[in-house]
Structure 1
Amino acid sequence: MRMIRKIVGALTALTVCGSLAACGASNADGKTLSILVEGGSPAETVAKDTAAGFEKLTGYNVKVDTVPYSGLYDKLKAETMSRRGVHDVAFIDVGWFPALKKGLLPVEDVLSQGELNDLMPMLRDGGTFDGHLLGVPTWTNSKVLLYRKDLFSDPANKKAFKQRYGYELTVPKTWDQYRDVAKFFTHDGMYGTGMIGATGSDSVTGWLEFATQAGADGLVVDKNGKVDLTDGSYAKALEYMRELVKDGSIPADYLSLGTSEISNLFNQGKLAMQLTWSHFYKSSASELGEDKVGAAPMIGGSAGVGAIPGPWYESILSNSNKQEIAKDYLKYMYGQNERYMTSLGVAARRSVFSKYENKSGYAHLKALEATLDSPQTQNRPAIRAWTEIETEVLSPLVQKVLKNGNAEAELAKAQKKVEGILG
């Protein structure tokens, strides 16, 4: 049997002699499991905080190596293509699976059916390719709406909004409401909302989320494998983003703003709303106070609420010569999943969400759960060339259209470029 039996036995032994070291186990033979994570991320924090516990149980030292997010994919791609891997386990963004899958070990035997059933929606499907689960989920996430509760509840604001727009000021649920509220709160140095316009995956995600709310199904590549950028939903999404720009409801330097910059503006009291990853609620509530920050599900377009999940997984590199102990490490970390909730504000297990969703400091969880359960919420396409398509075609497309390009014309060009990449 695998090392998991040793773990069970060790748990029993710990009640007798306090630690495996006291019972004679040690790392004297140099046994080391190498883990690759994003530097400065909760993954690094949790990996380091749990390393001593795993060593006590197994005798294996956990060596945590870090790489910035911007270089992590390239590092993993090089390792998975190599005949000799440097690392045994790595943290992987869901969008990287299609390109890395040939270098990853199937891990469906790590978790029991009950443990798999405890995973949040779409996590199992997001990590499954060619019938194999290629990673154990660590957390799931999506964009939600964060807003200034104190501004929305202010009687003067309520009165002025109704006089101007003819209906009650409320937390927006639709495109029209979101646009009206954004215009209303734009005055005296405050903007109604922000927009991620900087080059990169988050600007693409923001656009595709509006597209899925407008009815896109399959996101760029439909379920039949056809590129569908000219179906209308993508143009509607870009046009809606252009309307927010023309309204002046977002900062003028939006083309240089990323997720962190927009979050900082919100925390500084310069934005009334932001559509952002749910875990940013914790920092905003800490900076402004829980009484001033609210969280609601993602807004919806003509097709309803929709978002793009952003889950991460722990995977085993198939080049590793320590695959069995690596599987035990994934099993062990599944048991430590609550640590991601306390450090980041999101996790992978339903049971962990249930435990925290009514606690102070976690008001974003119900908004996240509602968004993940929405019919139009869908994963990015599971295609090998996705990173190339996103970087070379989609990100420049968003910037060009927002600068005043013709949405339909640029989408037609992008359609041909993506078709060319996919062959």
Structure 2
Amino acid sequence: MQTGQFHIAIRKFEPFERFIQARWQDFCAESGCRLELCAAAMDLPELHRSLLTENGLKNGHWDIALISSDWIKEAIATKAVLPIEPLIQQEDYFTPWPASLLRSQQSGNNHFAVPFHDGPECLIYRKDLFEDPRHCSGFLAQYGYVLEPPKNWETFYDIACYFQNKEPGLCGTALAAYPDGHNAVYDFCIQAWTRGADFTSANPSINLQNQGIIDGLHFYRKLANSSHALHKDSFNMDSVKLGAAFAGGELAMMINWFGFATYAAQLDNSPVKDKIGVAPIPHQVDKPSVCPNSYWMYCIASGSANSAVAMDFIQFASQPKYDIALTLNGGIGCRKSTWHDPEVNSQLPFFNQLEAIHELARELPDWPNWPAIAQIIDEVMIQTGTTTQEIESILFAAQQKIDLLQSTPAVN
């Protein structure tokens, strides 16, 4: 580590990369900081490996990292990140953010990260297609009911089939099925939770032997193998590539993070600009919708020799005007004030629905060993989507692996 450099690890996503670069320039101009920014953007597996598997947060390789709420408990348990409160002199520092964006990084009396980018998963769809009289009448004639954003999984599949190849280059939907231990895990949770299958308990323990999970995976397999409904590149897509496909006009609808709706709405050359709607995720008819919540945060590496500079930069970059700037440039600001900002809502007419979607938000378990469990669930989804093995046997084998993992003493 060179003393003249400041290292930030970033989740690979162009709006994130652009924002960090711009804010560092602003920070140095205002503060007089002369450290050279060395920022590295990585996909999810590489980022987790660099931060936690290879101990980059502890050994001084990084000063700041953008870290997922899925990983923060692992980082806290392994003492890879610093608590924020001792680095600031402001008791009400976290007041501007909602409680739903502070839970994952809290341990004891401290928070170990500051919210950066938010946006629960939701249904994102093409309003122009759903409101086109030709498609409204055509869908009604073919399926016998009104075309509208799907509220249950059966109608989701029907609508995806209807729009598949309905226009040149258009697919009904797509999956972020690339095996990165993240997106397919959320698809697993969506299929379970929206069928009322709660597979976790406070012990903590996991039980995959649940009819709602079995039914959900059968639906996932049906969709994943359907050339009548699905984009052919789904198994090479993570959430970013899925969002890019929607922004490029390739999809009638998708289930993805709210931020990809704003990304598509602000992309100058996007054919779906000004044509985007959002809605809650479909669910079983007699069960409520659930919108999984994962968010990105600034964390300060415990091995950083520049922790004071790191805290100064985070406070600078997360102030209200820059939270709005992130939102208007492809990200999702996390401050409550941003959600209700008039300029934001004038440019993103669907943005005011974020608060209602947040009411349906649910986080993954905040267990230190959750990333290891997520890898097992990721394997379940790969096998479900790419093999003909019985769902019940896939789940049984996964349960055995999870039971073995959870019998191992937890890291304190």
Residue 168 of structure 1 is aligned with which of 127, 131, 146? Answer: 146
Q: CA deviation at 1:267?
A: 4.1
Q: Give the match for residue 410 of structure 2.
A: none
Counterpart check, 1:52 vs 2:30: no
Aligned-partner Cα distance in 1 for 2:241–2:307: 40
Report which of the two has the higher share of helix.
1
Counterpart check, 1:399 vs 2:382: yes
Aligned residue runs from structure 1 range 382-421, under 5 A: 382-391=366-375, 393-403=376-386, 404-421=388-405
Q: Give the match for residue 281 of structure 2.
A: 298
Aligned-partner Cα distance in 1 for 2:370–2:305: 30
Q: Give the match for residue 91 of structure 1.
A: 66
Q: Which amino acid aligns with 1:94?
A: S
Mark the CA change 1:329 to 1:237 in structure 2 (over 3 Å): closer, same or farther: same
Which structure's CA Rg is the greater one? 1
Q: CA deviation at 1:313?
A: 1.0
Counterpart check, 1:195 vs 2:175: yes
Q: If the length of structure 2 is used for normalisation, what is the TM-score?
A: 0.84
Aligned-partner Cα distance in 1 for 2:233–2:299: 38
Instruction: Report if the CA contact (8 A) 1:204-1:390 is conserved.
Output: yes
Aligned-partner Cα distance in 1 for 2:89–2:401: 41
Q: Give the match for residue 206 of structure 2.
A: 227
Residue 76 of structure 1 is aligned with which of 48, 51, 59? Answer: 51
Identical residues among aligned pairs (%): 22
Q: Give the match for residue 35 of structure 1.
A: 8
**Unaligned regions of 5+ residues in structure 2, if any?**
408-412
Q: Give the match for residue 335 of structure 2.
A: 349
**Unaligned regions of 5+ residues in structure 1, if any?**
1-29
Instruction: Report if the CA contact (8 A) 2:81-2:299 is conserved.
Output: yes
Mark the CA change 1:50 to 1:213 in structure 2 (over 3 Å): closer, same or farther: same
Q: Give the match for residue 113 of structure 2.
A: 135
Q: Which amino acid aligns with 2:345?
A: N
Aligned-partner Cα distance in 2 for 1:324–1:264: 37
Runs of 4+ aligned structure 1 residues displaced above 6 Å come to none
Residue 116 of structure 1 is aligned with which of 84, 94, 97? Answer: 94
Residue 84 of structure 2 is aligned with which of 107, 112, 116? Answer: 107
Aligned-partner Cα distance in 2 for 1:36–1:193: 32
Counterpart check, 1:177 vs 2:177: no
Q: Give the match for residue 38 of structure 2.
A: 64
Mark the CA change 1:288 to 1:180 in structure 2 (over 3 Å): closer, same or farther: same
> What is the aligned-residue RMSD (CA, Å)?
2.7
Instruction: Report if the CA contact (8 A) 2:278-2:350 is conserved.
Output: yes
Q: CA deviation at 1:241?
A: 1.6
Aligned-partner Cα distance in 1 for 2:120–2:188: 14
Q: How many residues align?
A: 387
SS of structure 1 residue aligned to 2:346: coil
Q: Give the match for residue 236 of structure 1.
A: 215
Q: Give the match for residue 208 of structure 1.
A: 189
